[in-house]
């Protein structure tokens, strides 16, 4: 049975990969609708021939790697179970110590290391590919450092989560998912609170905006929007990427508005102010807290479904998976695989909410700045810097786009400008 499950799982992954490849490279329509040709949203207007070609190539390969990576992770966890590696990890852990917490730590380091090694080739391909298209400027040593930081941060958090999770499973086989969710609420809020000051600085250097004249203008906008802000932060991302970005992070007193230095270097002052107004909208409309609420709701549903699916999988395929009970830490790869599947399935729904919030933020920003030309040029430069498709394939938009497409964003700005022009004439 184990060989049969493994064979058909690998076969399904290969077929899935070919279908995704065919869809992205031959089946998907990324052409601009006729009515938008010649407008500011038409990439032939603001990108030259080489940039258009690179944008299409880069987007297709990047999207292919995305759709291959997550299911590959599921396959890795499944093979760990089918080949008895999870059982071996537990045996090695028990042979190393008689203390339960240390056993969990040793089991988890083996599992994490094996998963890291198995998925490393795809991660490296993604990095190398991004570098070849001049999106990434990061050296291999710097990239590898970030990968290792990721590994140890994830390991540390997983050690806490897994230790508590399996203690709860042993105490309450039926309701562990509910107790785990209740404990996840303060844990999630704590991580979000400390992330800007403890975790983010491990990857990059953050400091108050150096351009004090620009900072004054941004803070004046913040005051107009009733946002209590003393600083705008910039981060030295030019050492790692040529892409542009700005974002809001953290909660409470640790919340920050952050600008990448690439954004500061490549955009005009009016364009930066438009981006800042967009980020301020997330604060004004409390999108961060809405997002936390949505995440907690999804995690509740996800933990409940994970509990049900784990019991079903062990009852029907326990022998092949070499599992007899959910309480055994050997079931962790099964839990991680199911949770990853549920997150993947939920992406389209969370992206719908996110795209709505981002559209609201765009509307807020254009109304605050009343500068359609700066907004349009901002989106055009974002497309050029990131080699983003203006109109991505539908499947890519559904699963990957937490923001409206550039076609949708620029079209909205054009409509706003036209509306304002008509109002002024009247």
**Under a CB-based contact definition with an 8 Å cutoff, are residues 118 and 76 in contact?**
yes
CB contact set of 362 (below 8 Å; sequence gap of 6+): 278, 375, 404, 409, 412, 413
Enter the tokens of residue 325: 């009970």
Sheet holding 246-249, edge to edge: 206-208, 233-235, 256-260, 246-249
* Of 330, 394, 315, 419, nearest in space to 80 by CA: 330
Question: Would you call 57 a catalytic residue per the annotation?
Answer: no
282 is in an annotated binding site: yes
How many whole angstroms separate alpha carbon 288 and alpha carbon 250? 8
Query: What are the structure tokens assigned to 157, written together?
Result: 């958090």
Among 169, 217, 216, CA closest to 330: 169
Using only C-alpha atoms, what is the Rg of the chain?
Answer: 24
Which residue(s) pair with 257 in the sheet?
A: 248
Annotated catalytic residue 328: no
- Token pair, residue 78, equals 């499944």
Beta carbons of 334 and 317 less than 8 angstroms apart: no
Bridge pairing between strands 206-208 and 246-249: unpaired
Number of helical H runs and strand E runs in the chain? 15, 4
Choosing from 63, 279, 328, 423, the catalytic residue is 279
Q: Judge whether 358 is annotated as a binding position.
A: yes
DSSP per-residue letters across 259-320? EEHHHHHHS-HHHHHHHHHHHHHHHHTTHHHHHHHHHHHHHHHHHHHHHHHHHHHHHHHHHH
Tokens 């990957």 — which residue?
Answer: 400
Output phi, psi for 175, to 5 deg: -115, 15
3-state secondary structure labels for all residues of 260-272: EHHHHHHCCHHHH
Annotation-wise, does 278 bind a ligand? yes
Between the two ends of the chain, the Cα-to-Cα distance in Å is 75
Residue 206 three-state SS: strand
Residues 227, 283: contact at Cβ < 8 Å? yes
Q: Which of 215, 234, 362, 408 is catalytic?
A: 362
Q: What residue numbers does the annotated binding site cover?
A: 278, 282, 358
Q: What residue numbers does the annotated binding site for Zn(2+) cover?
A: 278, 282, 358
Q: Which residues are catalytic?
A: 279, 362
């Amino acid at each position: 049975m184990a060989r049969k499950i493994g064979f058909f799982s690998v076969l399904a992954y290969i077929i899935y990969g070919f279908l995704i490849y065919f869809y992205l490279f031959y089946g998907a329509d990324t052409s601009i609708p006729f009515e938008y040709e010649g407008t500011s949203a038409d990439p032939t207007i603001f990108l030259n021939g080489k940039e258009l070609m690179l944008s299409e190539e880069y987007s297709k390969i990047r999207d292919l790697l995305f759709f291959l990576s997550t299911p590959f992770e599921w396959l890795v966890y499944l093979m760990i179970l089918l080949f008895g590696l999870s059982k071996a990890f537990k045996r090695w852990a028990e042979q190393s110590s008689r203390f339960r917490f240390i056993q969990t730590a040793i089991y988890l380091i083996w599992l994490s290391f094996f998963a890291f090694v198995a998925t490393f080739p795809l991660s490296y391909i993604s990095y190398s590919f991004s570098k070849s298209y001049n999106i990434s400027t990061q050296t291999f040593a710097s990239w590898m450092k970030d990968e290792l930081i990721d590994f140890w941060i994830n390991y540390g958090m997983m050690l806490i989560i897994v230790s508590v999770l399996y203690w709860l499973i042993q105490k309450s086989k039926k309701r562990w998912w509910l107790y785990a969710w209740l404990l996840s609420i303060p844990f999630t809020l704590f991580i979000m609170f400390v992330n800007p000051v403890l975790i983010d600085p491990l990857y990059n250097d953050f400091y108050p905006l150096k351009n004090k004249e620009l900072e004054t203008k941004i803070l004046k906008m913040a005051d107009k929007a009733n946002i209590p802000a003393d600083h705008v932060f910039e981060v030295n991302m030019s050492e790692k990427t040529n892409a542009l970005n700005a974002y809001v992070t953290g909660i409470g007193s640790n919340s920050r508005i952050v600008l990448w230095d690439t954004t500061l270097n490549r955009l005009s002052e009016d364009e930066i102010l438009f981006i800042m107004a967009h980020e301020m909208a997330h604060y004004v409309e409390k999108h961060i807290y809405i997002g936390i609420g949505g995440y907690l709701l999804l995690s509740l549903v996800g933990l409940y479904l994970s509990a049900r699916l784990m019991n079903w999988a062990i009852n029907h395929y326990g022998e092949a998976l070499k599992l007899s009970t959910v309480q055994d830490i050997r079931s962790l790869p099964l839990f991680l695989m199911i949770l990853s599947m549920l997150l993947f399935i939920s992406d389209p729904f969370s992206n719908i909410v996110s795209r709505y919030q981002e559209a609201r933020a765009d509307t807020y920003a254009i109304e605050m700045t009343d500068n359609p030309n700066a907004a349009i040029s901002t989106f055009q430069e974002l497309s050029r810097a990131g080699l983003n498709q203006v109109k991505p394939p539908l499947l890519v938009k559904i699963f990957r786009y937490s923001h409206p497409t550039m076609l949708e964003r620029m079209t909205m700005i054009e409509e706003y400008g036209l509306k304002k022009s008509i109002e002024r004439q009247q």
